[in-house]
């Protein structure tokens, strides 16, 4: 009798699994973006050319444009807003737990004074890259892969800072970040890795 009950339970298992709800049904897979050529620096003094070229190379290598360019996260990069931030956000909270995830919008990293990093100090920019620190050194930038950048040399960080200061400023305001549980009207993608228990 026990064997018969066990076999019946096994027979019902595929049907039960087939009717279960997939919490990712409301999402579609997007083609991941590639790294892009970074924009050219504006006027550069001859003595700074090598460092600025190095900074451009590093910004390309680290894929900064893949997040900090509007639309790049979903394969629709707006080249007029290159490195000027993104209206497409990155959800950072567990999609299995929150139907309305926390969303971060990658900021404008062009030297625009109003919407970008134009008024940031070199130290603030370096700390954002290397340690994920916000402008005032408080908290961590939630989806910035700063852990991978923490060992970048001082020379390379300053080359990146120098390069970002010499690209064309683009005035573009990204939306405010959204905490978990709140609704956003903007599009977003899910980043992050969740492990089973």
List average pLDDT for each run of 10 residues in the chain, which is 197 residues long: 42 48 60 65 82 95 93 91 95 82 93 96 94 71 85 96 96 94 91 61
Q: Is 131 inside a domain boundary? A: yes
Domain of 145, in residue numbers: 49-190
CA distances from residue 163 to 58, 67, 80, 110 in whole angstroms, order as listed: 10, 18, 18, 10
3-state secondary structure of 69: strand
In a domain, 118, yes or no: yes
Both tokens of residue 88? 């497409």
- At 143 the pLDDT is 83
Task: Please tell me the total count of domains within the chain.
Answer: 1
pTM value surpassing 0.75: yes
DSSP secondary structure letters along 92-140: -S-TTT-SS--EE-PPP-SS-TTTSSTTS-HHHHHHHHHH-B-TTS-SB
Q: For position 147, what pLDDT does the model report?
A: 87
Assigned domain for 84 exists? yes
Q: Would residue 76 count as lying in a domain?
A: yes
Is 21 part of any domain?
no
Residue 53 belongs to a domain: yes
pLDDT at 55: 96
């Amino acid at each position: 009798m026990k064997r018969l009950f066990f076999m019946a339970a096994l027979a019902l298992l595929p049907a039960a699994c087939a009717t279960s709800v997939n919490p990712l049904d409301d999402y579609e897979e997007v083609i991941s973006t590639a790294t892009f050529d970074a924009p050219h620096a504006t006027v550069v003094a001859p003595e700074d050319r090598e460092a600025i070229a190095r900074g451009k190379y590093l910004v390309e290598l680290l894929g900064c444009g893949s997040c900090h360019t509007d639309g790049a996260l979903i394969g629709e990069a707006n080249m007029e807003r290159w490195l000027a931030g993104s209206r497409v956000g990155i959800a950072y909270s567990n999609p299995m737990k929150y139907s309305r995830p926390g969303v971060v919008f990658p900021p404008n990293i062009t030297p625009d004074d109003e919407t970008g990093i134009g008024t940031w100090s070199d130290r603030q920019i370096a700390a954002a890259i290397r340690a994920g620190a916000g402008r005032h050194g408080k908290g961590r930038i939630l989806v910035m892969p700063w852990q991978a950048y923490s060992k970048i040399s001082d020379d390379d960080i300053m080359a990146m800072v120098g390069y970002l200061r010499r690209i064309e400023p683009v005035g573009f305001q990204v939306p405010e970040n959204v905490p978990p549980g709140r609704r956003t009207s903007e599009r977003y993608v899910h980043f992050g890795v969740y492990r089973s228990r």
